[in-house]
Amino acid sequence: MAKSKSLFYCQSCGHESAKWMGKCPSCQSWNTFVEEVVSKQEDPREQWKASSEKGAAKAVTLPEIPSEGDFRVATSDQELNRVLGGGIIPGSLVLIGGEPGIGKSTLMLQLGMSLIGMNVLYVSGEESAQQIKMRAERLNLQQSTSPHFKVLTETNTRSIFNAIESAMPQLVVIDSIQTLFSPQLDSLAGGVGQVRQCAAEFMKFAKETNIPVFMVGHITKDGTLAGPKVLEHMVDTVLQFEGDRHLTYRILRTIKNRFGSTSEIGIYEMLGNGLREVSNPSEILISQKEGKVTGATIGATMEGNRPLLIEIQSLVSTASYGTPQRTPTGFDHKRLNMLLAVLEKRCGFRLGTQDVFVNMAGGLTVEDPAIDLAVCVSIISSLEEMPVSEKSCFAAEIGLGGELRAVNRIDQRISEAEKLGFEEIFISRYNNKTTETRKGRIQVKTFGKLTDVFAELFG
């Protein structure tokens, strides 16, 4: 059969060429040429295309569109439901990005096998059927013998669509999009052109058949590799699976969602027998300490819509080399420098000759500015060798003048701290209005300046 025609286009200026070129003659940029199909006589999904062409395109008004109500399919995985905005939407295309080895295949296999009574086709271009079976046995799910769950090891999209036609799945999982290739293009699997073409074929498939498709996509640390980045605008939902490979916690984060909020996260723990949902993350992020430790504090942060209490550990020690080190883990370097400058200049602590290490527990990266106060208290606790009560927690942003600034969703933070048995929470007095009337077990302490907090804690 004859191949359909493909041309190369510059991704930055649209220049067209019959051959691949390293440098665009029009806009002079390098490495921007990507192969694209121009004529589609050979669409591997002819049947769906044909069916869509039968009904001539017609514009409709909104009331004419039948409303389908809430038609999400809730999975048994609460964390996944949360990040998807309630469940799987029929006909949606979901991209799960993440670094290799983070657990994307495990998550998808668990999802596929837990959808009892739903026909699932798991297409793997990375692992052999034997490997998938071994993994499934390791996950130890009773459903691994279910006739509803089928595995296909194939990378050619034409064969995949043929298999889909005979297997009639209600959910398709593609692992991974980088391993697939469309026979319509000559380029190798994994290139930008192929990844985009394959994703476009699955998008068309999902929209026309109303079958949801989950696509796994690898992404490297810098996020530049061909794959997820070029697909983000195309798919309905982008989930990112992240975490430190050496730690057991994994976070599933919504980057884009046409059917829900993007500020949701799901937390999992990678165990020997698969991923376990962590429904109360604060408990795992606060270590069980042996007695009081200096430099350890608890920050009441928000991850998306979820309050999270996180332990911060600092170590301040005299620098042995000329330039003291400032080493944050899970916290912004510039922000740490700024906080150290505030502590030095506004509160009079001598930190210029000290090495400062700051760690967020559980391998999390915290961007919420409300963590500032907890970080400052933790640093001073280590510097002064004075522990902070493990029943206290903190939530305030620090301004350049050494003032405590109000943070959002303070009520949610206070409630979470109360739920976990904290006895006092330190917040900015500009948050006071909402909390004045609060009557609970937790004592809400409000402060205007960082120096006042230190006077209260360390005398």
Give the binding site for Mg ion (CB under 5 A).
105
Distance CA 255, CA 457 (A): 39
Is 147 among the residues that bind ligand TYD (CB under 6 A)? no
Least distance CB 179 / ligand TYD (angstroms): 11
101 binds ligand TYD (CB under 6 A): yes
Taking CB under 6 A as the criterion, which residues in 105-134 touch ligand TYD? 105-106
Helix axes 46-54, 192-209, angle to 10 degrees: 50
What is the closest distance, in whole angstroms, from the C-beta atom of residue 93 to ligand TYD in the complex? 19
Report the residue number, 106 or 237, with the smaller CB distance to Mg ion.
106
Q: Should residue 274 be labelled a site residue for ligand TYD when binding is judged by CB under 6 A?
A: yes
* In the complex, minimum distance from the CB of residue 414 to Mg ion, in angstroms, rounded to a whole number: 41
CB 390 within 8 A of CB 312: no
Q: Output the smallest distance, CB 219 to Mg ion, in A.
A: 12
Look at residue 138 and give the partner it binds from Mg ion, ligand TYD, none, a contact being a CB closer than 5 to 8 Å depending on partner kind.
ligand TYD
Q: Decide if residue 229 touches ligand TYD (CB under 6 A).
A: no
Q: 295: closest CA among 217, 338, 359, 246? A: 359
Cα separations (Å) of 117 from 107, 112, 171, 325? 19, 11, 11, 57
Name which of 106 and 294 has its Cβ closer to ligand TYD: 106
Q: What DSSP character marks residue 62?
A: G
Angle, helices 192-209/157-167, rounded to nearest 10 degrees:
20
**25 in contact with ligand TYD (CB under 6 A):** no
Per CB under 6 A, the list member of 138, 148, 150, 419 interacting with ligand TYD is: 138
Stretch that binds ligand TYD, among 135-143, 158-166, 227-235, 373-381 (CB under 6 A): 135-143
Which distant-in-sequence residues (6+ apart) come within 8 Å of 428 by Cβ?
A: 396, 397, 403, 404, 405, 406, 407, 446, 447, 448
Residues in a beta bridge with 425: 393, 444
Binding-site partner at residue 102 among ligand TYD, Mg ion, none, CB < 5 to 8 Å by type: ligand TYD
CB of 257 to Mg ion, least distance (A): 23
Query: Please, what sign has the CA dihedral across residues 426, 432, 436, 438?
Result: negative
Q: Which amino acid is at 128?
A: S
Farthest CA pair distance, the chain: 83
101 binds, among Mg ion, ligand TYD, none (CB under 5 to 8 A by kind): ligand TYD
- Cα-based angle 326, 410, 342 (whole degrees, multiple of 5): 30
Mark the segment that binds ligand TYD (CB under 6 A) among 98-106, 166-174, 188-196, 259-267: 98-106
- Does 178 bind ligand TYD (CB under 6 A)? Our answer is no
Least distance between Mg ion and beta carbon 248 (Å): 18
Element (H, E) at 372: helix 372-383
Give 116 or 247: the residue with its C-beta nearer to ligand TYD. Answer: 247
Q: Which stretch binds ligand TYD (CB under 6 A): 24-32, 198-206, 267-275, 448-456?
A: 267-275
DSSP H helix total and E strand total for the chain: 13, 21
Residue 98 touches ligand TYD, criterion: CB under 6 A: yes
Instruction: State which residue has the least CB distance to ligand TYD.
Output: 105
Out of Mg ion, ligand TYD, none, which partner does residue 22 contact, by CB within 5 to 8 A per kind? none
* Contact between 151 and ligand TYD per CB under 6 A: no
310: helix, strand or coil: strand
The three-state DSSP-derived secondary structure of 200-246 is: HHHHHHHHHHCCCEEEEEECCCCCCCCCHHHHCCCCCEEEEEECCCC
Which is nearest to 372 in space by CA: 312, 285, 431? 312
Please check whether residue 284 is in contact with residue 368, taking contact to mean a CB–CB distance below 8 angstroms.
no
Which CB, 105 or 294, lies closer to Mg ion?
105
- State the minimum distance, in angstroms, from the CB of residue 81 to ligand TYD: 20
Q: Which does 212 bind (CB under 5 to 8 A by kind): Mg ion, ligand TYD, none?
A: none
Q: State how far the Cα of 327 lies from the Cα of 354, in Å rounded to an integer.
A: 11
148 makes contact with ligand TYD (CB under 6 A): no
Task: State in angstroms the smallest separation of the CB of 83 from ligand TYD.
Answer: 16
Residue from the set 88, 89, 102, 370 that interacts with ligand TYD by CB under 6 A: 102
Note whether 69 binds ligand TYD by CB under 6 A: no
215, two tokens: 């696509």
**Cα 286–Cα 290–Cα 291 angle in degrees, nearest 5:** 105
* Whole-number Å distance between alpha carbons of 102 and 179: 17
- What's the rounded Cα separation, in Å, for the pair 9 and 192? 12
Min dist. Cβ of residue 135 to ligand TYD (A): 5
Nearer to ligand TYD, 173 or 296 (CB): 173
Q: Is 223 in the site for ligand TYD (CB under 6 A)?
A: no
Pick from 14, 25, 100, 352 the residue near ligand TYD by CB under 6 A. Answer: 100
Q: CB nearer to ligand TYD: give 226 or 270.
A: 270
Task: List interacting residues with ligand TYD (CB under 6 A).
Answer: 98, 100-106, 135, 138-139, 270, 272-274
